[in-house]
Structure 1
Amino acid sequence: MTIRNSAAAQAAELRANARRGVWQRLLAALGVRTGRVRRADAVAARWEHGAAGEAETARLVAALESQGWAIRHDLRMPGSRANLDHLLISPCGTAVVVLDSKHWHRGRTTTLVGGRVHCGADDRQDQVDAVARYAARVSRTLDLPGVVVWPLLVVHGSPIAGGRLEARAPGWGGVVHVLGPARLVPTLAAAPKAHDPVRAAAVVARVDRVLLPYVPRPRQVR
């Protein structure tokens, strides 16, 4: 299965834009990197770092399709410029998982400090809050009674203290699960085993109708 990856596309677009024009192409042919190209490459590298985490998550959750999960990647967030990295619909049709991929520093442990998620000394709570906001918006957009939306953050690179964390976010009544990749599929696979193909198909149809593929806007670096 081919996975669309807007982060990788953004990186490629940044690199290409910085090298457009006769002068830029000539310099590139001579092996000269201008300040504009160096800045674009630095930003593109960060996008590519995130894209690697998204691609690895997509590879991992693909195993759930054989268990009846429906999986979508890189969807447009209604009313926002943000995108949803991954969205999963349970086989029983009663749960939708909003899954965000992150790639944090491999040499720093992700922990809860004073109720806030940190990677080493860096406060990353804003990214937990963001996935909770995404889940709330998805829930409102789907507007499906009896369907629970779960926000989940999977962190590549940085080890998670204790293997998993349960974080809180403003305005979100439940928890945001923060997991490492090794815990991701077992956690989802442990969800209720009941299958309701008719109900699940109705949720999938609703998702496909209101959550469209994400089309990134080209970014310019000057």
Structure 2
Amino acid sequence: MHATRGSRRGAGASAQRMARTIRGAERRRQHRRARWILPFVAAAAGFAGYGASEATGRWHAGVALGAVLFVLALHRLYRTSGRSRSWRTGARGERRTARHLAPLSWAGKGRWAILHDRQVPSSRANLDTIVLGPCGAVYVDTKAWMSQSSKVRMRDGQLWYGRFSQQRSMDTVRWEADRAAAVLNCPVRAVVAVHGAAIPPGGLHVPGNGVTVLQARELRSYLRRLPHEHGWSRRRVQVTRLKANVLLPPAS
């Protein structure tokens, strides 16, 4: 079990930190607004409650109405923005990807190494997951595309999620994989693991940048099916892992 926990360590940490940072800034703004809004809300709720108690002749009905109105106002005032929710969803997706990959580490007896949430040198970007194994080096970017009604498909040589082109996102994934390749001094495949939206069985291949897009639950079997790269022995996997730990340190 220790190996399983270790193989998931750090997954989604940068995204979770960003979600907390954004939510913290939101809370501070909401607290400032609450200082002058809540007195008016309390007065309005009290007035409505008084009116209800007068109309019904039941004081507890007025109290209940006033309390409900006040709670609804608080909920609206302190609701979480879509931006922080998006980062939090992304962090959960990365942790789910880590759980899918964990069996490779503890069952592979050194044949596989998995590193999560790594810093790109001289950049603010981070690498979601790097997998090292018999297939060589693979960069896995996680996408939490949770809309069940939006299709992921290829059209006109580009990847689309619903009505939105993901070409820029796929180019970024390719760039991140190339940065890892430059640091590790070896070719790095680029893979996108999608949670939520359906992907055709076997995945999709984005022409031009060589990114493979597949359902996250298929990731482990996909990696095992990849052709073995010459020279990627257990020793090379572990040596490359140590190199990555130094040159691609944890982002969080």
| TM-score, normalised via structure 1 length | 0.81
- Equivalent residue of 1:80, what SS? coil
Question: Normalized per residue, which structure has more helix?
Answer: 2
Q: How does 1:44-83 map to 2 (within 5 A)?
A: 44-65=84-105, 66-67=107-108, 68-83=111-126
Q: Which has the higher mean CA deviation after the structures are superposed, 192-201 or 116-125?
A: 192-201
Separation of aligned partners in 1, 2:120 and 2:87? 19
* CA deviation profile, 1:5-61 (whole Å, cap 9, x unmatched): 21112112222233349954975x9863687x55x6332111112112111101101
Structure of larger gyration radius: 2
Contact 2:112–2:234, Cα closer than 8 Å, also in 1: no
Task: Report the aligned-residue RMSD.
Answer: 2.7
Q: Report the residue type matching 1:123 in the other structure.
A: S
How many residues in Structure 1 have an aligned counterpart in Structure 2? 204
- Equivalent residue of 1:153, what SS? strand
State the identity as a percent: 29
Separation of aligned partners in 2, 1:126 and 1:136? 15
Task: Give the deviation of 1:124 after TM superposition.
Answer: 1.1
Q: How does 1:120-139 map to 2 (within 5 A)?
A: 120-139=162-181
Q: Kindly tell me: are residues 21 and 48 of structure 1, through their superposed partners in 2, closer, same or farther at Cα, counting changes over 3 Å?
A: closer
Residue 190 of structure 2 corresponds to 151
Separation of aligned partners in 1, 2:203 and 2:168? 18
Q: Report the residue type matching 1:98 in the other structure.
A: Y
- Equivalent residue of 1:208, what SS? helix
* CA deviation profile, 1:125-154 (whole Å, cap 9, x unmatched): 2111111111111111122xxx32100001
Separation of aligned partners in 2, 1:202 and 1:162? 34
Contact 1:19–1:25, Cα closer than 8 Å, also in 2: no
Q: Report the residue type matching 1:101 in the other structure.
A: T
Unaligned runs of 5+ in 1: 216-222
Q: Kindly tell me: are residues 22 and 209 of structure 1, through their superposed partners in 2, closer, same or farther at Cα, counting changes over 3 Å?
A: same
Task: Give the deviation of 1:97 after TM superposition.
Answer: 0.8
Q: How does 1:2-151 map to 2 (within 5 A)?
A: 3-4=9-10, 5-20=13-28, 23-24=31-32, 32=74, 38=79, 41-65=81-105, 66-67=107-108, 68-90=111-133, 92=134, 95-104=136-145, 105-143=147-185, 147-151=186-190
Q: In the alignment, is residue 160 of structure 1 matched against residue 199 of structure 2?
A: yes
Task: Give the deviation of 1:182 after TM superposition.
Answer: 2.6
Q: Kindly tell me: are residues 202 and 157 of structure 1, through their superposed partners in 2, closer, same or farther at Cα, counting changes over 3 Å?
A: same
Q: 1:183 aligns with which of 218, 235, 245?
A: 218
Separation of aligned partners in 2, 1:160 and 1:168? 17
Q: Report the residue type matching 1:161 in the other structure.
A: P
- Equivalent residue of 1:81, what SS? coil
Contact 2:138–2:189, Cα closer than 8 Å, also in 1: yes
Separation of aligned partners in 1, 2:117 and 2:251? 6
Q: Kindly tell me: are residues 189 and 48 of structure 1, through their superposed partners in 2, closer, same or farther at Cα, counting changes over 3 Å?
A: same
Separation of aligned partners in 1, 2:203 and 2:221? 12
Residue 237 of structure 2 corresponds to 200
* CA deviation profile, 1:138-180 (whole Å, cap 9, x unmatched): 111122xxx32100001111101344001124xx4xx211000
Q: Report the residue type matching 1:140 in the other structure.
A: A
- Equivalent residue of 1:161, what SS? coil
Q: Report the residue type matching 1:214 in the other structure.
A: A
Separation of aligned partners in 2, 1:125 and 1:142? 26
